[in-house]
A = this chain, B = another copy of it.
Amino acid sequence: MKRIESAKNPKIKHIKRLHKRKQREKDNQFFIEGPHLVEEALHYEAAVQEVFLEEEFSVPSSWDFKDIPVTFVPEAVMKEMSATETPQGVAAVCNMTAVSNLTLEQGRYLFIDGIQDPGNLGTIIRTADAAGLTAVILGEGTVDLYNDKVLRSTQGSVFHLPIVRGDLEDWVEKCKKKNIPVFGTGIEMGTTHTAIEPQETFALLIGNEGSGVSEFLLAKSDQNLYIPIHGKAESLNAAVAAGILLYHLRG
């Protein structure tokens, strides 16, 4: 087993830089922490490059590191690497795996147009996973998938289904060619979501927390849906709205 004793070790310094999006994109790597995320990464064969453990961390017997290098670090070094106040004794560096060759089939898709809050994006991905979606496409202006708060909020779902960045206009066009209905979402115009029957195949467009789905995408949608507000709230949380719509459309 390897061991790193100092936070000044170049590898630790590199990991700290992975908390910035620019560095992640340069290196095509991201950092995860906590037993649940690391377990999911190992189990779903994400491209884990290296695992870091505190001596005191007791590794569950179900974990299989295969050929992945494991390095021990003292608590102080783990704290230095971590983005959280209370690190949980285990972390890992993963490669971003390219799913750039994702092809659109008859399936169920979520297109995300500019979700900004990391917790919302993570929770939406977790919800899309639970609803059994085929893939999630992240449009421009959406918070980075590999932001540590996004990753934590996915509760591991980041490793469960294909999630790719893309030009949503292109994806809507692709849907049209394959006769996959595209549903926009908005507060004011459109159809109550319950007026739509569950669909075998669809793409649902979810928009930014404040401004919603871009107008030019709404104009290209087959139908725009809204969730009726029966009380005095102005709107629903974006992840809650995604859950209601995905579970309704899925049937």
**A positions within 8 Å CB-CB of B:** 44, 119, 123, 126-133, 155-157, 160-161, 194, 227, 229-237, 239-244, 247-248, 250-251
A43 nearest CB neighbor, chain B only: B232
The reply to whether B236 and A126 form a contact with Cβ atoms under 8 Å apart is yes
Provide 30 A-B residue pairs closer than 8 Å at the C-beta atoms, listed in order of the A residue: A44-B232, A123-B237, A123-B240, A127-B233, A127-B236, A127-B240, A128-B231, A129-B231, A129-B233, A130-B227, A130-B233, A130-B235, A130-B236, A131-B231, A132-B231, A155-B235, A156-B233, A156-B234, A157-B233, A160-B231, A160-B233, A161-B232, A236-B243, A239-B239, A241-B243, A243-B243, A243-B244, A244-B244, A244-B247, A247-B248
Chain B residues, Cβ within 8 Å of A161: 231-232
| A194-B250 Cα distance, complex, nearest whole Å | 11
Instruction: Give the distance to chain B from A226, nearest Cβ to Cβ, in Å.
Output: 12
Chain B residues, Cβ within 8 Å of A234: 155-156
Copies of this chain, tallied across the complex: 2
Instruction: Give the distance to chain B from A42, nearest Cβ to Cβ, in Å.
Output: 14
Chain B residues, Cβ within 8 Å of A156: 233-234
| A229-B126 Cα distance, complex, nearest whole Å | 11
| A227-B244 Cα distance, complex, nearest whole Å | 11
| A240-B240 Cα distance, complex, nearest whole Å | 4
